[in-house]
Amino acid sequence: MLDRFNRKINYLRISVTDRCNLRCHYCMPADNPCMLRHQDILRFEEIQQVVAVAAALGVDKIRLTGGEPLVRRDIVELVSMISAVPGLSDLAMTTNGILLPDFALPLARAGLRRVNISLDTTDAVKFREITRGGDIQKVFKGIEAAREAGLLPVKVNCVVGPGPHGEDARGVADYCMRNGLQLRFIQQMDLQAGHFGIVEGGSGGDCKHCNRLRLTSDGKMKPCLFSDLSYDIRQLGIHRAMEMALDTKPEKGTVNRLNCFHNIGG
Ligand code: SF4
């Protein structure tokens, strides 16, 4: 499907939860993050229906995000339900990797194709600071498990600040080079201020060639990450919500005053 700027929209990013087992300081406040009510979170059947409608409209690429998607109970079952939808050429996930050592193989068997794993430093102490308590060894084991399970290519998402890449980013680049991993540098974003950049080594943030829509974990179809626009699939119906998102997709992102990163999945 084409939007009104003739961009081919074939990619749907689905946030399956706003919960996370880390508290990265640029994504989530340390305490009392604004969390969605359990009953507002989409059920698996609803997510599968959205994917089926999207696939029928021309979407062939799905990415599961969060919060942290692996904290959603029975996530392997959801992957299996989505991978059964005809017409998909790609099913990927963005994860912080902490739970991946246990999930990589079951996810691959359920139909997941590949993963992007967040890693902003290779220094264990700094990692614990950035994530407010995370254990970097679990991420390294998660990367290994993803590779062994055939979730390839394994890509690393490294969030960087403005200006030239610092010591942490260079350390991650080194680590990726030594381990044959693909690397994406993602400029730290600010939804409310409208600060974002094009992902180095990826396609995010390139408005001119944007190919994506987003579904929040409580069922809001969003035409753009940096926009307040959203369409409730439970009120409008899936097809109408997708149509409206496509028809109102902005030429480029501006600001998003209504969402937090952990409930929209970046
Ligand atoms: S800011 Fe919006 S239009 Fe630009 S790349 Fe992101 S989602 Fe696409």
pLDDT digits (tens, 9 = 90+) for 21-30: 999 999 987 7
Which ligand 1 atom is the nearest neighbour of the CA of 253?
1
Give the pLDDT score at 158.
97
Give the pLDDT score at 32.
62
Average pLDDT over residues 216-234: 97
The token pair that represents 40 in the structure block: 């507002």
Q: Cis link prior to 67 (omega < 30° from 0)?
A: yes
Band the pLDDT of 260: cuts 50, 70, 90.
Answer: confident
Band the pLDDT of 233: cuts 50, 70, 90.
Answer: very high
Give the pLDDT score at 96.
98
**Domain-by-domain residue ranges, the chain?**
11-264
Separation of alpha carbons 62 and 3, rounded Å: 18
Average pLDDT over residues 211-228: 97
Ligand 1 centroid to residue 176 C-alpha, Å: 27
Contacts of 219 (CB under 8 A, 6+ apart): 40, 42, 46, 232, 233, 234
Average pLDDT over residues 85-92: 98
Q: Is residue 245 lining ligand 1, measured as CB closer than 6 Å?
A: no
Q: Is residue 12 lining ligand 1, measured as CB closer than 6 Å?
A: no
Residues 155-192 have pLDDT tens digits of 999 999 887 889 999 999 999 999 999 999 999 999 99
Average pLDDT over residues 142-166: 94
Q: For 11-264, CATH number?
A: 3.20.20.70
Q: Is residue 266 lining ligand 1, measured as CB closer than 6 Å?
A: no
In total, the chain counts a number of residues equal to 266
